[in-house]
Each structure stands twice: as structure tokens, then as C-alpha cells.
Amino acid sequence: MKVMKNSIKVLGAYGSKSLDFSTTCIQINQNSVIDAGNIVKGLGIDAQYIDNIFLTHSHLDHLNDIPYILDIFFEKRKKPITIYGTSKTLENLRKYILNWEIWPDFSEIELLNKKSKAIVFKPININETIILDDDTKITAIKNNHTNSSCGYIITKNQNSLLFSSDTYCCDSIWETINNNLNIKAAIIDVSFPSKFKQLAFDSKHLTPALLSEQLKKLKRDDLRIYINHIKPAYEKILRKEIQDYDLLLNEGKILDDGDVISLSNEYLAYNTNRTNINKKEIKKLIDIGKSLTSEKNFDVLMEKILLGAKEFSDADGGTLYLVTEDEKRLKFQVVQTDSLSIKMGGTEGKIIWPELPLYKEDGKPNEHMVAALCALEGKLINIPDVYETKDFNFEGTKKFDKTTGYRTKSMLVIPMKNHEDDVIGVLQLLNKMDDNGNAITFTNEDKQLIESMASQAAVSITNNRLITELENLLDSFIKSIATAIGEKSEYTGGHINRVAEIAETLTKAINNDKTVFKDINFTPDEIKQMSRAAWLHDIGKIVTPEYVVDKGKKLETIYDRVNTVKAKFEIVKKDYELEYYKEISNTSSIKEKEQLRIAFQNKITSLEEDLDFVISCNTGGEFMEDKKIERIKEIAKQKLKINGEDTNLLSEDEVYNLCIKKGTLTDEERDIINNHVTVSYKMLETMPFPKKLKRVPVIAGSHHKMVKGGGYSAPEILDLPMTIEDKILAVADVFEALTANDRPYKKANSLNTSLRILSFMIKDQHLDRDIVKFFVDNNLHLDYANKYLSEEQMDEITVDFENI
């Protein structure tokens, strides 16, 4: 069992017992308590070490644990429990409780060691002092409750605390306090609301009004007042009255179960195991904590923090600052004043006011600005009236008041510290309002609540920033991958960026639609998921060979083989020339020479026409006619000699490539290109995306699927029905490809031609009709075209999607 050397602990603080409230019991050292209202529950197993109980009187709420501590720990006890009290109090205990009828009289029962009785009764007289240990002594004093009651003065190392116990008006208590300056604090009974004046008189208890009158007898200004014995049934009204009468002198408080009061050499202070907050406030604090933790929108989070703080403290206004990244300034985030209808920052837009400097121009701390000092020292500052303090510069505040007619009075400034105890922001609350609309001082309870909330707020801000930073890192990484893929090809480098732009624009527009897509509601996370899938849809191209990606001509591999073809045609031409010169050298007939010249010229012309045809076929197109294919095959059959051997003018592979009907890719090369979708899916599927991005691999891997089924994708997802996200990305990818003007293997389509092809793809159930029509009806195609298409592509649109 641990009790601080210079402290006492309040085990029970209330005037009645309930689920959440325990009756009077104060632990004054390791083995001694005043009253027995909550020994067993308050100390648990450590209750076995209690050897001394000092009773103030014999009412049940002050002695109800005596029977149980004797019963529960009887076997463990080696020495008796000594019960102190006035003679009449001890007589009542034996007569009415430990009387063998209600409970055994343990003063007649021996402990198991047979050396002593279980209880020893020791009467104590008023003003008698009992020394408990080297540091602690206790003195009985007169109070005014029953004929046999008393209070106590607890002294530790020359510092004393007076405990009145249950009492009515009592001059001797205040005389004792006035005459003994070692008494630094007093715990005073306030049991009933002031309206129960007669009940208080009859039962000999104080009310807030009565205590206020009693305090007028106090001739000292350094005494701290604690209040106990509140009746739980009247807790709310009593707390308000105690505050209204300003009874908690010198930062005293209403005591609660678990409070620890420290008797230091300088002053008496308290800390709590449980804050002085009622259940409703605790629930509200928990609810706000949950709300802050779950809030993802940073601006909304800022507002929730300030609104929660204002609500808890009944503040009229407040400001939330955040420390800048360089830790040299405070930046305004949210400013609100209810009575002036001022709302700035957060979701209302950015605040353009200058940031508050934490340091002066000479580098010294800016200690004259209250928010700056709070941030620099990390301490709470409570100012009853800003016009009365000389510690801070409030010229700006006073100027604001003069301009608006406002009167800033009380101010509570709280640092927000993160998990590393660094101050990341400051909460500044203005003018706590009472029920009559008057500005009053912020209370200790306000400080406890707002400090707790500020701690939760700091954690939420830190988490929000961390998530934002991680998301920004992920986005940057994704876009860097897209850039790397784009750098592989000078022709398709902008494809990913443009597809992502179309997909993002289309997704947001559908989300805001109130017509055909009125039932579609994407969450912010789903919109981010769509964006990231679009940026990653071609990640598989990172393994696609550049010569396939960049194949602008049919004969291209690592180089354009059309030059090889030209060289072979040049060889044939030289062979024709040699043959021609050889033939004319063997004849002297002018007529034969002319015939040979004409035949030679026809051969050369035919050869050049064939070469021009081959070169033209080397450029890909939308469709290659069969007669052109046949001509290529005929040209290929022409012979040339290489190293003395006859060989075809065009090789089989050259013929195969030149006869590609659409585009520039062979079937094998197209399979390589198409495989990028499968590779994309497999690469993304191995990445540990968070739950909110779990569909990124499927969306990215479905952009070449068809609405009717089929297309090409990874086998694992090819047969899955397309979701609306899949369909959006498919439309974005096709539209970008159709309108792209940087492809070397095809002429750029005009806008109208691109839309006509889209209409064909709708009829063939390749693309979703509603999405394409929405894209066009909302002029999203024009927005994109005006940004990326050339003037030559901007033609008249004649395609009608209504009847498709």
C-alpha cells in the first residue's frame, strides 16, 4: 500500500452512497483513516493494513465499513484495530452496531494469535492530539453536528489541514483557523442546496449560502477551501451554487472519491485519480474524443475541437492556433465568438490575419503575448479579467473590444501537447458565461475538462497530420511511378496523367449528379481510391519492352527495319542497272538500245513504286485492305542476289509485319501490350493497400474489360462483373486513346470521329452507355478537348447519343 509521505487521500467524499459515490473516508497515512465510509472499496486488499480509525461521529455513513473490515480481514490481522472517537461516539457504536444483535462485538473476540482482541476502543477528547508517526499527528476539534461529534486537524511536517466533518455553523472552527497559520487548507461540509435552509439547520449541515456567511469570519486570505459531503441527489445544483458563491477559495475544489491532497512545505495542492466531472460530462468527453478520432477532414476537425472546448466551458468565444512547421509562429486556424456571430477559419475559409510570433526580433521569447507564452512554456494560463492583469499585452484585444463594443473578460489558454509532450497548438477561450449571460472566471473543473480535451485534440491533430503525410507520400510515389512509365515512351508519356484526369473529373461529376446517377454516392475515400487506380492502371507497362510500346511503324523493332528494306530495293536497282549496261554493251542497234532503255526505266519506275507502297504500308492505319496485302506478298516474291544466292526481296517476318491490318503491332506484340493489364493487377495485388483502397488492383486491372463480358484482364478478375468504377476507368482510357495526338502509329482522330467510335463501342457493349452519355451531356468531353486537342481535331459534333 502506497500513500505519499506528505499527502492524504480522499477514499470517500460524498454525503450518501450510490453506484458512483462513496461516503466519508480519508486516509491520513499508511495505516490510519478518518471515518470508515469507504475503506474496503477505497483500498481493496490494502484495507488489511489499517490499524487506526478516527471517527467524527456515529452516523451510519461514517462507520459503515467497520463491520466489514473486521470480517473480511480477520484471519490476516496480527494486531487490533484501534477505533478513536468521543466517548459518546464509541458508546453509540457498541450499543447500536457492535451489539451482537446487528453485528458481533469484536472488542470481545480474540484474534487468532490469542494475544489481543480484534478491536480496541480509545476515547479522544477535544483538543487532544494523537501522534501517529514521525511526520503525522491528528488533533480532535469541536464542530457543530451532533452532541458527540468532532472534526480533526491533520498535521504533516508543520503543515496542517482542518477537516470539519459534518457540521453546521461553528465559530470555533474559524477561530481555530484564524489563530493557527499552519492550517493551510480546510475541508468543509456542504450537504444541501441553499433552498433547504431549514433542513440544513435540523440536520446540522451547511449549504452554499450558509458557508458563504461563515467565510466572512475568516480573517485570512491564504486559506484554500475544499468542499465535501455533497448529497449526490443535489450534485448538479450544489456545484452551480458553490461556483456562484465563489466558495472554492485559492483554487480549492469540490472533492471527489480518489482525490489526493498534498501537504507540501510551500502550499497545499491536490491531484486526482478521478477528475471532478460528473458522468454526463465524462460521457460527453468520451463522445467528443470519438468524434475527433474519427474525423478525417482537417478543417472540420479544427472546428470540432474549438466547439467542444467552448461547449464544455460555456465560453462565448475562442481561438485555435497551431504551431507552424518552423516552430516560430502560431497560425490562426479557427476563430469564433457566439455573441458577435463571428465564425472564421475551418470550413468557413482561411484566416488571413498575421501569424503570432513566438519570438521577438532579437530572438527572445515573446512572453507578453498570452498564447505565445502558453505555447513556449506549455502551461495553462487562467486569467479572471484581462483588463486587470499586467502580465500580458492585451492592446489588440482592447482595440477589438473598442471597435465592436465587446468586453473581453475571462480567458483560459491551454497548450495542446502531442504524445511526445511537444506543444503543437494552443486553445484560447474567452468569457465563460453564467446562466444570466454574465462573463465569469473559468473554474478548476473547466481546466480539468479542457486540458483533457486538449490532450485528445492534440492526438487527433497529430494522427490527422500523420495520415495526411502518409497519403501524400503514397500519392507522390504513385505519380513518380506513372512518370517513370511515361518516360519510357516519348509518345505515350502523358497517357496516364490524362486518363487519371478524365477518371477523376468523371467520378466527381457522377457523385454530384442528381439525375441518372442520383443513387451513386462515393465517399471521399472511394473517390481517392478511383484516382489512385487511374494513376496505377498502366503500372504493368513498366515491364513492357520499349520497342513494343513505342512501335510507331510496322517494321520497327529496336530500330526501324524500313531502312533495311530500302537497302534491298537499292541492291535490286543496282542489279537492274548492271544488267541494263551489260545488255546495251552487247548491241550496236540504236533501236534495241532504246527498247532496252525503256524496259530498264519501266523496271526502275515499278521498283520505286513498289518501295513507295511498302513505305506507305509501314505506317499503321485503322484498316488494311486485302488487295494491299496481296500486293505486299507479290512484291516480296521479287528476287535479289545476296552473296551470290537468290533471296526474296522481303523476308517472311517483314511481310508478316507489313500485312498488319490495324495499327502497327503483330498479334504477338499486341499480346505483350495487353499483358500489361495482367501484370498491373498482379503487381498491385501484392501491395498492402489499406482497407479503404482495397479495390485499387481490381479497378486498375479492369480498364480493358467489356460491359458485355470479355475483353482482356488478369484471369482472376476477367469474369467479375464490372463495377461503376471499372466502367468509368474504361471510358477514360478509351477516350484518351482515341483523341491522343501524340501517337506515331496513327493519325489523331477528330473529336467527332472519337465520339462516333465511342457510339460504336456502346452498340457493341464494350462501354457503358449511361457513363459515356453523361460524359458528353455534361460537356466533360469539351472541357478535356479544349485543354488537350489541337485545332484540327476540333470539328463539328454530329453524333447523337440519345438514340444509341
- Whether 596 and 741 map to the same domain: the answer is no
- Whether 595 and 571 map to the same domain: the answer is yes
Query: Residue 776 has which C-alpha cell?
Result: 458528353
Residue 669 gets the label, from left (phi > 0), alpha (psi -120 to 50) or beta, of alpha
Query: Which residue carries 475515400 as its cell?
Result: 525
- Per-residue burial over 245-283, b = 16 or more CB atoms within 10 Å of its CB, e = otherwise: bebbbeebbbbbbbbbbbbeeeebebebeebbbbeebee
**pLDDT at res. 282:** 63
Q: Please check whether residue 230 is in contact with residue 237, taking contact to mean a CB–CB distance below 8 angstroms.
A: no
d(CA 711, CA 227): 79
Residue 798 resides in a domain: no
**pLDDT at res. 278:** 54
Please state, in angstroms and as integers, the Cα–Cα distance from residue 382 to each residue in 226, 445, 458, following that order: 19, 12, 20
Q: Please check whether residue 48 is in contact with residue 73, taking contact to mean a CB–CB distance below 8 angstroms.
A: yes
d(CA 781, CA 801): 13
- State the number of CA atoms in the 13 A half-sphere of 494 facing the CB: 13
Question: In terms of DSSP bridges, do strands 136-141 and 151-156 run parallel, antiparallel, or are they unpaired?
Answer: antiparallel
> For residue range 197-214, what is the model confidence (pLDDT) as tens digits?
999 999 999 999 999 999
Residue 219 resides in a domain: yes
- Whether 318 and 422 map to the same domain: the answer is yes
**H/E run at residue 793:** none
- Whether 399 and 517 map to the same domain: the answer is no
**pLDDT at res. 271:** 44
- Whether 365 and 232 map to the same domain: the answer is no
Residue 471 resides in a domain: no
- Whether 109 and 132 map to the same domain: the answer is yes
Closest CA to 582 of 596, 599, 567: 596
Last residue of a domain, one of 251, 272, 293: 272
- Whether 511 and 644 map to the same domain: the answer is no
Q: Which residues pair with 320 in a beta bridge?
A: 334, 427
- Whether 197 and 70 map to the same domain: the answer is yes
Closest CA to 151 of 180, 173, 184: 173
- State the number of CA atoms in the 13 A half-sphere of 313 facing the CB: 38
- Whether 313 and 461 map to the same domain: the answer is yes
Q: What is the CATH number of the domain that holds 444?
A: 3.30.450.40
Indicate the DSSP class of residue 742. Answer: -
Q: What is the CA radius of gyration of the chain?
A: 45
Total structural domains within the chain? 4
- Which residues of the chain are modeled with pLDDT < 70? 1-5, 264-286, 294, 489-493, 743-746
3-state SS class at 260: strand
Residue 799 resides in a domain: no
Please state, in angstroms and as integers, the Cα–Cα distance from residue 115 to each residue in 25, 79, 435, 564, 681, following that order: 29, 8, 63, 119, 84
3-state SS class at 320: strand
Query: Residue 329 has which C-alpha cell?
Result: 509562429
Burial class (CB in 10 A: 0-12, 13-18, 19+), 73: middle
3-state SS class at 187: strand
Q: At what angle do helices 780-788 and 769-777 cross, to 10 degrees?
A: 70
- Whether 695 and 786 map to the same domain: the answer is yes
Q: Please check whether residue 286 is in contact with residue 247, taking contact to mean a CB–CB distance below 8 angstroms.
A: no
pTM: 0.53
* Domain range for 653: 562-664
**H/E run at residue 425:** strand 423-433
Q: What is the CATH number of the domain that holds 176?
A: 3.60.15.10
Last residue of a domain, one of 272, 300, 323: 272
d(CA 435, CA 243): 12
Residue 476 resides in a domain: no
CB count in 10 Å sphere of residue 775: 26
Q: Please check whether residue 271 is in contact with residue 260, taking contact to mean a CB–CB distance below 8 angstroms.
A: yes
**pLDDT at res. 745:** 57
Closest CA to 242 of 284, 179, 193: 193
Question: Residue 113: what are its φ and ψ, rounded to 5°?
Answer: -80, -5
d(CA 248, CA 252): 5
Query: Residue 716 has which C-alpha cell?
Result: 482472376
- Whether 51 and 129 map to the same domain: the answer is yes
Q: What is the CATH number of the domain that holds 746?
A: 1.10.3210.10
- Per-residue burial over 359-393, b = 16 or more CB atoms within 10 Å of its CB, e = otherwise: eeeeeeebeebbbbbbbbeeebbbbeebeeeeebe
CB count in 10 Å sphere of residue 677: 25
Closest CA to 727 of 754, 697, 703, 695: 703
What ranges in 146-234 are assigned the alpha helix state H? Answer: 171-179, 197-203, 208-214
3-state SS class at 372: helix
Last residue of a domain, one of 664, 687, 709: 664
- Whether 660 and 682 map to the same domain: the answer is no
d(CA 802, CA 769): 10
**pLDDT at res. 453:** 83
Residue 480 resides in a domain: no
Residue 212 resides in a domain: yes
3-state SS class at 666: coil
Question: In terms of DSSP bridges, do strands 183-189 and 159-163 run parallel, antiparallel, or are they unpaired?
Answer: parallel
Residue 801 resides in a domain: no
Query: Which residue carries 508519356 as its cell?
Result: 493
**pLDDT at res. 390:** 84
Tally of residues, the chain: 804
